[in-house]
Amino acid sequence: MSYEQFIEQMEAELKGRLGAGRTLYVREATKNNGKERKGVVFCEPGVNVSPTIYLEEYYERYRQGCSLEQVADQIMSLYSHVRMQHSWEGEFVTKYVNVRPRLIYQLISRERNRELLLQVPHFPCLDLAIVFHVLVDMKEEDRIATMLVRNEHLKWWKVTREEIYREACANTQKLLPERFTTLYALLAGSGEEPGALEEGPEEPGGSMYVLSNCIRNFGAAAVLYRNVLKNIGKYLEEDFYVLPSSVHEVIIVPDSSAPSWQETATIVKEINETQVREEEVLSDVPYHYRREEDRLAMPPWAADSPES
């Protein structure tokens, strides 16, 4: 069954399960890096903010052996959990006092999201952009539901981008604490708990490390967390490279274990082109952290940008 056929049959299957007054439709949305994705949107009376459940991963589950009915069960289960019938109904989202404690930030590519950045409040950071979301819900260890903050939201809330930046700085590290582990431990299926940075990982193969958040979802933003890079430098006792593995995580490589900056850039670009999904690419540029300056820098050949 093709992906388009799967979408048609899944839409019919899900509609047959909805109660009175509820409906759904399939929408195409532009996500990170301009990637178009299709998902189902559930609608019901009295709810003005409805989640979109994207279908690519469910199609993969179907291809791996799940029946259409089993996949529909999984989608309905997720919808039942994230549906905003209570705290997100009516005018809830239009009031800043309600969303303020849920504001978080994420890092995305500036170059790959030029059109999106015209529509959302953001701040430049190196060759990246800091954008903002409202954390609607966290269901599982690796799943969150968020709402992207757009320019019109600032008008609703009567706030500035500087104000939401301050709130996001206060919230993000608290709601999605950092996770720092060796690459070896991550590949082996384990990892340090959030806050374990002071003692550091103990597994072998410790010349490469992974920094993300506790759910490894848009966890590259952990490089912005207060004192995180400084504490990594203290643990490693040397300067280090920060490789933008994806929007979900970065790889930390101590200077003593890294090739040249140019060679590192070549590696990052090759990985992005062959192993990272288009919508998850963060940057082709490796960064470098200098302990003495407590500063993350771009390579010399890319540092001529006025916003870097």
Q: Which position has the token pair 């490894």?
A: 216
Instruction: Tell me the C-alpha distance between 286 and 268, whole Å.
Output: 7
Give the 3-state DSSP-derived string for 91-114, with helices as H, strands as E and coil as C: CHHHCHHHHHHHEEEEEEECHHHH
For the question of whether the overall pTM of this predicted structure is more than 0.85, the answer is no
Q: So what's the pLDDT on residue 17?
A: 85
DSSP string, 110-132: SGGGHHHHTTS-EEEETTEEEEE
* Residue 47, amino acid: V
In angstroms, the CA 165 to CA 148 distance is: 14
The reported pLDDT for the residue numbered 144 is 67
What pLDDT does 226 receive? 95
pLDDT given at position 31: 72
What is residue 125's predicted lDDT score, i.e. its pLDDT? Answer: 95
Q: So what's the pLDDT on residue 203?
A: 45
- Helical H segments across the chain, by residue range: 3-15, 56-63, 68-82, 96-99, 114-117, 151-157, 161-175, 183-187, 228-236, 261-274
Q: How many Cβ atoms from other residues are within 10 Å of residue 308's Cβ?
A: 17
Task: State how far Cα 91 lies from the chain centre.
Answer: 26
For residue 127, the model assigns a pLDDT of 94
Give, in order, the Cα–Cα distances in Å from 18 to each of 89, 113, 116, 187, 198: 19, 36, 33, 40, 50
pLDDT on residue 9: 94
| Inter-residue contact 42 to 11 (CB < 8 Å) | no
Cα–Cα distance measured from residue 32 to residue 54, given in angstroms and rounded to the nearest whole number: 13
pLDDT in tens, the chain (308 residues): 898 999 999 999 999 888 777 888 898 877 778 777 788 888 776 666 666 788 888 888 998 899 999 999 999 888 877 665 444 545 677 889 989 999 999 999 999 999 999 999 999 999 999 999 998 766 655 566 788 899 999 999 999 999 999 999 999 999 999 999 887 666 665 444 434 444 444 444 458 899 999 988 889 999 999 999 999 999 999 999 999 989 999 999 999 998 888 888 888 888 888 888 888 899 999 999 999 999 999 988 775 544 43
Closest CA to 183 of 231, 239, 253: 253
- At 143 the pLDDT is 60
